[in-house]
Every structure is written in structure tokens, then in C-alpha cells.
Chains A and B, each alone.
Chain A
Amino acid sequence: MSLLEVQDLTTAFMTGRGEVNAVEDVSFSLNEGEILGIVGESGSGKSVTALSIMGLLPSPPARIAAGQVRFAGQTLTGLSERQMQPIRGPGIGMIFQEPMTSLNPVFSIGDQIMETIRAHERLPQAQLRARAVAMLDKVGIPAAARRLDDYPHQMSGGQRQRVMIAMALACRPRLLIADEPTTALDVTIQAQILDLLMDLRDEFGMAIIIITHNMGVIAETADRVLVMYAGRVIEEAPAARIFDHPRHPYTRGLLECVPSLTEDRARLVAIPGTLPEPARRPAGCRFAPRCAHAEPSCTQAVPALESLEPSHTAACFRARELSR
């Protein structure tokens, strides 16, 4: 049985233009210890997918309009806030792009880590402190015991992200969702944080969902990849296959439009146009207006995810004929 199963998840937002589906028909599963990468450009629905799993979207305006989320055999969709509490933390932990938004500026980081542990475990003060120091040490904060009384603003962006990881790990989650954890960081610090996440997966065997818009981050971390476009999953495959044999024209475009660090290219292969807002999505395949291979029939219906190889699916009417 999978650790996490997301089935036909559709999350809608009430907006000025009526209700729109930010995320539509998203299905995937994740095994213990596996790293799933979710990649897509901004607005493709990555964060809404993660927040829907965590039950962290405010309702209204958000609503799980269809589908379900199962974690370790338990259905999470429909649970009350009180029922979700014990699952967040020891079950599923989450870290965000900007740690400052989830760290409280008026409490020391030590207090915040200890508070997180205390919410799920009864431990005497001295042991709490020791555990907090051990966690900071684990995530690579030098002189951890001395940093315990520091406040978030006294730390660099990279260190704050380490603290967030420490807080998530303090509860020993079976699944960690990392939403663009390195997007705000310099490449040097990004490399350190990605190394850390991989080390922690190896040590604790937790599963990770890493959300990013950067194919390089996917290459560095993911076992399996989900590519999202305009709220829908458009391709899923093991990481190496996504890079070697992308079958959806959008995935191919994503890989081709970034310049290489080693090869010269006279011109970048750009994808024309931009990602449509949810209220202005085209009929049929949402990528059709930007797709070089679109045919009139592509705008007639929404292509479903189809299995092209074992464990490789893509949502493109022409996937089979195009990738010969």
C-alpha cells in the first residue's frame, strides 16, 4: 500500500469571476521513502495541491470540490481541523519557500522547535532542549547549542530554511512536503539544502514531495516526477525517463527552453505565449494555444492521462505519434 494516495483531487476557489478550479483531477501516489518531484511554472497548481493534502487552505474561498487524499490508509479529505492536527507534524511535515512566513519573529528558534515537539510529545524541559539542539545540529547549524536563543531575523535565509527543516523533522514525519524550499536561496545555499534533504531521506527513510519550477532541482532529487500545467497533471514518469524521453510537448518545452551550462546554443527554444489564468483557460487541451503540434481536434476535449509505458503517463492526444 502506498503511503500517500491522491485521487482525482479538484480544488476550487471562489473568485470575483465565479468558482474556478485551481487544481483539477490530480491523481498520484507515493511510497515510503520515495521522493516525488512536482514541477511546473508558477500558477500551475503545485502549492494548491500541497496545501490541499495538508488541509491548510482557508475555506472559503477554497473548497475540495472532488476527489480524496489518503495517508497511511486514512482518508484526510473531510477531516475537521481538530482531526487534522495530529496528522500534521508526526504524519506529514511541510516547509515553504519563505521560512520567515512560518517562523514567529518574536520567539527564539529554540522556543519554536521545542513548542513543535511539545505539541506531540510530553518530555521534561531538559530533554526538550537537548532534542532541539540535536535537531539543529542534524540540519547543519554550527554551534547549535548557542544558536538556540537566536531569533529568526538573526539568521540568514539558508539558516532559516534549515531551522524550518529541523522543526518539521522534530516530529519525525513519514512524509515531508517541501514547497519551493530553495527558490529564494542562492545556488550555493540551494546545493547545501538539497544535499541536506537527501541525507535526511537516506537517514530517516521519510518520503518527500519536492515542489519546484526548476528542472535542475528535479534532476538532483526526484525519483519520480509529476509535471503540472494549468492545474492538471500532464505527465508522470520516473525522473530519468522524464529527462530522456519526455512525451508531452510541454515537458519537452520545459527541458529545451533552459540554456545549458556546457553546450552552446545559438538560440533558446522558447514556448510562445504564457500560462493562462484559471478563469481564462482555453477549451480542450490547456496547452494547445502554445503547442507547436496542436491540431484542431486538440481543442475539442481535455486529454486524459494515458499510459504510454509501464509507469509513464502523459496527457496529450498526439503523444504516441509524436514521440516515435
Chain B
Amino acid sequence: MTQPLLEAEGLEKHFEVGGGGFFGLTPAVKLRAVDDVSLSIMPGETLGLVGESGCGKSTLGRLLLRLIEPSAGKIRFDGQDITTLGRGAMRAVRRGMQIVFQDPYGALNPRMTVEDIVAEPLVIHGKPSGEATRREVRAMLDRVGLPARAMERFPHEFSGGQRQRIGIARALILKPRLIVCDEAVSALDVSVQAQIVNLLQDLQREMGLTYLFIAHDLSVVRHISDRVAVMYLGRVVEVAAKQAIYGAPLHPYTKGLIAAVPASHPSLRSRGRRVRIAGDIPSAINPPSGCRFHTRCPHVMPVCRERAPALLETAPGHQVACHLTEIPPG
């Protein structure tokens, strides 16, 4: 049996945040952005990660690459526990894991040429800048669909879609095995989004890449993912193969999220026909007791307010955290 490329066990991230209030007099409180998350990603697969904004997707993505330090839990990459690796050892591991952000503009140094931006990871990892590096950069740019003349230009000279290609080239130049795509196509116009999604899929096939694909667009996630994890207020509430998540979701939150996606045709309008998730996502600073979804759940029961449901396997490869599925039938 192959082992997962990436595994998280009981991962947590707490932020200390000022409680707000006037003059900062309110004491800092603990915000559990990621709360006891365990998941794994197999080599070559794409795990989609969805959930409303603020549910902890980006924090989880950064934790998995150890771009931020976990408050608790373990991370294993390619079988190796990387949770407490020192700087030097972590640097070697990081060659194998890269991230692509939503706004490539914010992530690309505006004063560097495209050549230098794409070459930088190579240089950081000890490759001398010279003709061999130039060739490598040119080949990578070509691979992501940018012309060689892009090398001397600056990020602001490119459209959003092309900047995203630059960000992808930079992430791929070290030939990593895992890429975290954090809303990598979310800011793009749909026609360009399709180009980038196709590119990511081609690259995955050619280079054997593994993706954690974070996005709030459920249709794009369905298209690109093999499995999908759904997060709510810092917790994973359901994980399954995409056919199960979209075809037979079990968690009321997953059902509500999918039901909220606008119709694909005027004859399929959802108003009055689909159950809506009411209200807003509650504050992560003071989350609801028990099941964190209970304040918005159409099926809420007394037990839901008291006890948090565990993430349990309901079928092979399908995990759900909900008292409805936890309670044995009968």
C-alpha cells in the first residue's frame, strides 16, 4: 500500500487576538483557526478544501507546509515527521512543497524581472545564476505558457492570468512534489480561470504533482479534485471522494453549501426549492458549543449543543462529523 505524501494529525493553530474594544483594553483571547484537524493526501491526488471564508483553509494550508508553526499536532511529509525539523533540515524538505497564492501580484516582487522571480528559489537553494539557470527558467516559462521575452519584463506588465502563470512557474522550478493552491484561480475571470485550471491539470499529469486545492468555488473544486474536505469554523466536518461529496453528501453543512451554489439554468432556480443555511458563520473567537454548526443547522438536536461530534468513517473513505450519522440507526 502506498503511504500518504502528506499527513496531518490533530493539527491546531491558535492565534492570540486583541478582544477588540476601546483602547485595546480588552485582554487578548485565543482564536482557534484550525482545531484538531487530521487528514492525508496521497501521492498524485488532488484534495480539494472548501468552506466559507474564515473557516481556516489558508491557515491549514500554511500549517501543512510549516510556513506557520502549529500550536499542536503532527505533520508528516513523505513519511518523515517534519513538525519539529530545524531550519536547515526544513529547508531541504521545503524544496518538495510549494504554494501558489490567490493574488500573485502581492506575492511577486514588483522590482524583480520575471527571470529573477522564477530563478530565485533555485538561487536560494544554492544553484549559481548562470546560463544553465537561465535555460531552466526559460523552459519553465515555456511550460506554463509564457514566451521567452517575458523574462526581462516586470510583473505589472502582465495580466492577472499571466501573473498567475509566473507564480506557478516559480512554485514549480524546484520540481516539488506537493503544491498548495490557495485560491489560486479565485480572483481570475472565468475565461482565464479555465486556462489556469487546465494548466494545473496538465502539469499535474506531466510532473506527477500532488495538490491541496483550496477554493471557495464548489464547481471548480469538483472539477479538479479527487477527494474533497469540507471545513467549518476550524474543523473538518466531512471528507470523501468527490462523487460522494457532491452526489451523496452526509453533513448538513456540506448539503447546504452545495445547495447554495447558483443554478446552471433559469429553469433550475433554487429559491423556495432548496434548504438554505440561515445566518452568518459565527465568530471563531467564541464558537458555538458542541457541534459548531448547530446554530445554523436545519436538523439540530439537543445533543448537538452539548457534545462535539467526532469525525467518523461512515463508509470506506467517507468521514463525517455529525450526530445524525454518529447515532446508530434504530
Contact = CB atoms under 8 A, between A and B. Distances in A.
Interface of A: 41-42, 142, 156, 158-159, 186-192, 194-195, 198, 213-217, 219-220, 222, 239-240, 243-244, 253-254, 257-262, 265, 267-272, 274-275, 290
Contact of B216 (A186, A222, A259): A186
B285 interface: no
Nearest to B262: A216
Contacts of A268: 194, 197-198, 223
B258 A261 contact: yes
Interface of B: 52-53, 159-162, 189-195, 197-198, 201, 216, 218-220, 222-223, 246, 256-271, 274, 276-281
A190 B195 CA distance: 26
B234 to A, nearest CB: 16
Nearest to A220: B262
A191 B219 contact: no
Nearest to A275: B189
Contacts of A186: 52-53, 216, 281
B191 A190 contact: no
B191 A219 contact: no
Given A195-B276, A261-B218, A261-B246, A188 B256 contact: yes
Contacts of A220: 262-263, 266, 269-271
Given A259-B219, A262-B246, A213 B260 contact: no
Contacts of A258: 190, 194, 219
22 contacts: A158-B280, A186-B216, A187-B261, A187-B262, A188-B256, A188-B276, A191-B262, A215-B190, A216-B264, A217-B262, A219-B265, A240-B267, A258-B190, A259-B222, A268-B197, A270-B192, A271-B191, A271-B195, A274-B159, A274-B161, A274-B189, A275-B189
B173 to A, nearest CB: 24
A149 to B, nearest CB: 16
Contacts of B258: 261
B219 A261 contact: yes
A187 B194 CA distance: 20
Contact of A41 (B191, B197, B222): B191
Contacts of A271: 191-192, 194-195
Contact of A257 (B193, B216, B269, B278): B193
Contacts of B271: 194-195, 198, 220
A89 to B, nearest CB: 27
Contacts of B192: 270-271, 274
Contacts of B268: 219
A95 to B, nearest CB: 18
Contacts of B270: 191, 220
Given A158-B280, A262-B246, 9 more contacts: A156-B281, A190-B262, A219-B269, A220-B269, A259-B222, A260-B219, A261-B218, A268-B198, A275-B191
Given A220-B262, A240-B267, A188 B191 contact: no
